[in-house]
Structure 1
Amino acid sequence: MTETLLSPARTAERLPYPALAAEIAALLEDPAVQVPARLVQALPGGGSLFVMPALDGRLAITKLITFTPANAGTGRPAIQGDVVVFDIATGERRLVLDGPTVTARRTAAVSLLAAQTLAPNPDGPLLIVGAGVQGKAHLEAFTAGLGVKEVFIASRSTASAEALAAHARTLGLQAEVIANPNAALAEAPLVVTCTPASGVVLRTEPRPDAFIAAVGAFTPRMVELAPELCRHLAELGTVVVDTRDADHEAGDLLQARLDVSRFASLQDVLQAKKNRPPGPVLFKSCGWAGWDLAAARLALPA
């Protein structure tokens, strides 16, 4: 009997990072892909319900996710839900993927694809700010897809940072927990910020060959990067957004009073097929149901 409801572990097995990054790139070349605007419904208590549909010529998916910031420190995950995959021709439900696992892996795979395409110095070392689920996913993705060998980890929770560093060492990396991520910018050409985005975590100007993937802020009120840092990167480097949805969601850029619509999207960059731009690069990721569709395509091959 075909397995339909996948556990987190089984979902992860079907979504290896390099293959998922390649599938995301293929999806951005597929004219059959349609991604309606996602519904974000505020919930009592400060949480949100996300309803995120997408389809191509073969599959239709909907991701149903709850985001509950109040779960921090309770042992319950902040993100919960599922990705339901349907066959368009028959209407049959083909697969149910674990939503948090898909979210973590496709977000890290998008950052990986952006780094593969845009990073001036993709070898690392890597600086990760935020040692939660996304910190772990990005560590694994950049290790698998770029061959990173050294990582610096900063987190408000020392225990979480130490746990992620220990995991990095099991992957063969040199790992160091640091207290001040801004000081590490001088040593790390690869940077990922994946915090709860409740306040600025990076202010210092990065290296000229830096690639920064800012992941945590996906609403206008959330922020990880100081406005002056965003303006510096926009003036002297290159800013790329994951999709045009970032125009009204990219908190870091909006709070810097930048016109987000003037920045290229990842799809624009891939289709232009130009050389890596000079200077530092900021990749602002906000999330998109198309990435979940790419995960479904990889998990349920034709």
Structure 2
Amino acid sequence: MTTVPFLDVPAMARWVAHRGPEAVIGRLVDALAADFARWPDLDKRARIASHSRDGVIELMPAADDVTYGFKFVNGHPRNPARGYQTVTAFGVLADVHNGYPTFLAEMTLLTALRTAATSALAARYLARAGSRTLALVGAGSQSEFQALGMRAALGITHLRVWDTDPGAQAKLARHARALGFEVHEATSGEDAVTGADVITTCTADKANATVLTHDMVTRLARPGVHVNAIGGDCPGKTELDPAILRAADVYVEYEPQTRVEGEIQQTPDLVVTELWEVVAGRRDGRRGAPATAGPGEAFARHAGDRRTPDDTTVTVFDSVGFAVEDWTALRFVRDDVPAGFLRHLDLVADPEDPKDLFSLVVAAQEDDRADAREALDRLMGLAGRGHVDALAHR
């Protein structure tokens, strides 16, 4: 029998608690950096999305020459009002050699961890040195993870929090204070971004919203603020004033996907840089060694014309979530989680003769007949004893 290890939701939560969420995110940042540095060698494609009036359901595949993986994930902004999570997900790894699944895991918690780690990876290269204050516009399921990611990457100590839902804002403030952050509960988006070194926007409405304006970025935030835009992640769903994008240096994960789903769907001619190029040293970020390699692959062809960001440059990471990040996270968990946290599923049909799949049905029929005979034998035995007992008491 070939079984597949499976990490369910309670076990994932136990693993995160066991390792510590901030430590997990920090280690995921390093794992992502290693995979981003070998980006050209990976099999990548934009996610496969099925949109409806209620939300979107997506498949997100990625692979190298050893391991294939995919994530199944939804995004339904109205779900919380109906008692459901906005996002739920699971993921699968498989062996490229034979196609067999090798690992299954819940990915609702894991997606929050990998999103925070990806944000932290971008901030490692793009935020100003000495950044200590993070503005969080949107206090939903991602927010605590984002705060921990930015502390792991930058040493963030202060949070300025705003959400149109007072309950969500209070929830984040409560958790963040328990995690050791200084928290300012803002009265507006403008209040939240005042004096911020980094701004993360993470709202759920499936609309072309403007939760962050150019004036908020240039007048209220600190000069050279880094904007981490993670809420816009499908066609027709954005958060930023397009003027911010036109005035900033903009970085993305995978341009073909971000052009359709990200903030830059509003600015189709905008020149952007893929983050992997910065991680691999082909392009300049604000922090880290200057680029020494030649031009990147397709979709970064004009990036060489851009200046290196300085401490007055606004940088934007237009993050929509990309399959390589999930693939990295799944492999990281598979290799790190203790065996005792795992269940095993009999998921692979594995007949003795690989060409005789029907033998599994024949064996099951024989098992059913054997079970039926055993049940009848038990029934007849009980009936016999009862008949004898009844005769003895006449």
Q: Could you tell me the TM-score, scaled by structure 2's length?
A: 0.70
Aligned to 2:142: 134
Structure 1 residues 230, 183: closer, same or farther in 2, change over 3 A? farther
Structure 1 residues 38, 2: closer, same or farther in 2, change over 3 A? closer
**Greater CA deviation, 206-215 or 152-161?**
206-215
Aligned to 1:202: 212
Does the aligned pair in 2 maintain the 1:152–1:177 contact within 8 Å?
A: yes
Letter of the aligned partner of 1:201 in structure 2?
A: V
Aligned to 2:304: none
Unaligned runs of 5+ in 2: 287-308, 337-394
Residues 57-136 of structure 1 aligned to structure 2 (within 5 Å)? 57-136=65-144
**Separation in structure 2 between the aligned mates of residue 186 and residue 294 of structure 1, nearest angstrom:** 35
- For the pair shown, the structure with the greater C-alpha radius of gyration is 2
Does the aligned pair in 2 maintain the 1:120–1:280 contact within 8 Å?
A: no
Q: Does 1:281 align with 2:308?
A: no
Q: Does 1:293 align with 2:293?
A: no
Does the aligned pair in 1 maintain the 2:68–2:93 contact within 8 Å?
A: yes
Does the aligned pair in 1 maintain the 2:258–2:264 contact within 8 Å?
A: no
Residue deviations 1:170-189, cap 9 Å, x none? 11111111022223433111
Does the aligned pair in 1 maintain the 2:136–2:201 contact within 8 Å?
A: yes
Residues 138-217 of structure 1 aligned to structure 2 (within 5 Å)? 138-197=146-205, 198=207, 199-203=209-213, 204=216, 205=218, 206-217=221-232
Does the aligned pair in 1 maintain the 2:80–2:86 contact within 8 Å?
A: yes
Structure 1 residues 181, 124: closer, same or farther in 2, change over 3 A? farther
Letter of the aligned partner of 2:124 in structure 1?
A: Q
Match of 2:13 among 6, 9, 12: 9
**Separation in structure 1 between the aligned mates of residue 63 and residue 203 of structure 2, nearest angstrom:** 30
Does the aligned pair in 2 maintain the 1:115–1:122 contact within 8 Å?
A: no
The alignment covers a number of residue pairs equal to 294
Does the aligned pair in 2 maintain the 1:124–1:150 contact within 8 Å?
A: yes
What is the root-mean-square deviation of aligned Cα atoms in Å? 2.2
**Separation in structure 2 between the aligned mates of residue 88 and residue 174 of structure 1, nearest angstrom:** 47
**Separation in structure 2 between the aligned mates of residue 110 and residue 11 of structure 1, nearest angstrom:** 20
Secondary structure of residue in 2 paired with 1:300? helix
Does the aligned pair in 2 maintain the 1:122–1:190 contact within 8 Å?
A: no
Does the aligned pair in 1 maintain the 2:5–2:102 contact within 8 Å?
A: no
Q: Does 1:219 align with 2:223?
A: no
**Separation in structure 1 between the aligned mates of residue 30 and residue 222 of structure 2, nearest angstrom:** 28
Secondary structure of residue in 1 paired with 2:223? coil
Aligned to 1:35: 44
Letter of the aligned partner of 1:291 in structure 2?
A: E
- The structural deviation recorded for 1:153 is 0.5
- The structural deviation recorded for 1:258 is 4.6
**Separation in structure 2 between the aligned mates of residue 32 and residue 10 of structure 1, nearest angstrom:** 34
- The structural deviation recorded for 1:64 is 1.0
Aligned to 1:21: 29
Does the aligned pair in 2 maintain the 1:11–1:97 contact within 8 Å?
A: no
**Separation in structure 2 between the aligned mates of residue 2 and residue 38 of structure 1, nearest angstrom:** 25
Match of 1:239 among 243, 250, 270: 250
**Greater CA deviation, 281-290 or 121-130?**
121-130
**Greater CA deviation, 144-153 or 67-76?**
67-76
Letter of the aligned partner of 2:134 in structure 1?
A: L
Q: Could you tell me the TM-score, scaled by structure 1's length?
A: 0.89
Match of 2:261 among 249, 254, 263: 249
- The structural deviation recorded for 1:122 is 4.8
Identical aligned residues as a percent: 28
Secondary structure of residue in 1 paired with 2:82? coil
**Separation in structure 1 between the aligned mates of residue 57 and residue 4 of structure 2, nearest angstrom:** 30
Secondary structure of residue in 2 paired with 1:79? coil
**Separation in structure 2 between the aligned mates of residue 6 and residue 145 of structure 1, nearest angstrom:** 28
Letter of the aligned partner of 1:285 in structure 2?
A: S
